[in-house]
Amino acid sequence: MGFVVGINHFRIGRLVAEALTAEAFKDSGHHVVDLEVIPSFDGSSEEMRAWLIFSMVEEAQAAREEAPALEERARAVLAKRGYPAEALPSFRLYFTSVPEIEAGGGRFYYFR
C-alpha cells in the first residue's frame, strides 16, 4: 500500500503562508505584495524556504540588503505561531519581485 499525503502533511508550510503576511513586515519599511512558500516534500519543517515578493526590482534589492534582519523578523513571527524551534535555524527567506518572476518565465518556472 502506498503512502497517502493527508491534509496535515504540509501543515508547517501552511503555517508559514499564514504567518508571513504583508502585515508581518509592514513596519519594516518593505511593502510585500505576495509570498511563495516552498515546503519540504516530506512534510518536515527542516530546510523550509519562502520568498517575499515585491512589486518592483528595486524593492526586492533593498530587502536583500537587509536580509539578515528580515530573516530574523520572519523567524520571530514563525516562533510565535508555533513553528518548531529546532527547525527555525534552517528556515531561509529570499526576496524577488514581480518583474523578476515574469522575466524568469512566470511563477511555475521561477520557483522550480
pLDDT for 4: 55
Res 1 pLDDT > 60: no
pTM of the model: 0.88
- Of residues 96 and 29, more confidence is placed in 96
Give the tens place of pLDDT for each residue, 37-93.
998 888 889 999 999 999 999 999 999 999 999 999 999 999 999 999 999 999 999
Mean predicted confidence (pLDDT) in 89-108: 96
CA-closest candidate to residue 71, choices 83, 63, 80: 63
- Of residues 28 and 79, more confidence is placed in 79
**C-alpha to C-alpha distances, 86 to 50, 73, 75, 111, nearest whole angstrom:** 18, 17, 12, 26
How far is residue 112's CA from residue 104's CA, in Å, rounded to a whole number?
A: 10
Residue reference for cell 515585491: 54
Q: Which residues contact 46 (CB under 8 A, 6 or more apart)?
A: 40, 87, 90
How far is residue 26's CA from residue 15's CA, in Å, rounded to a whole number?
A: 19
**CATH code that applies to domain 11-110:** 3.30.300
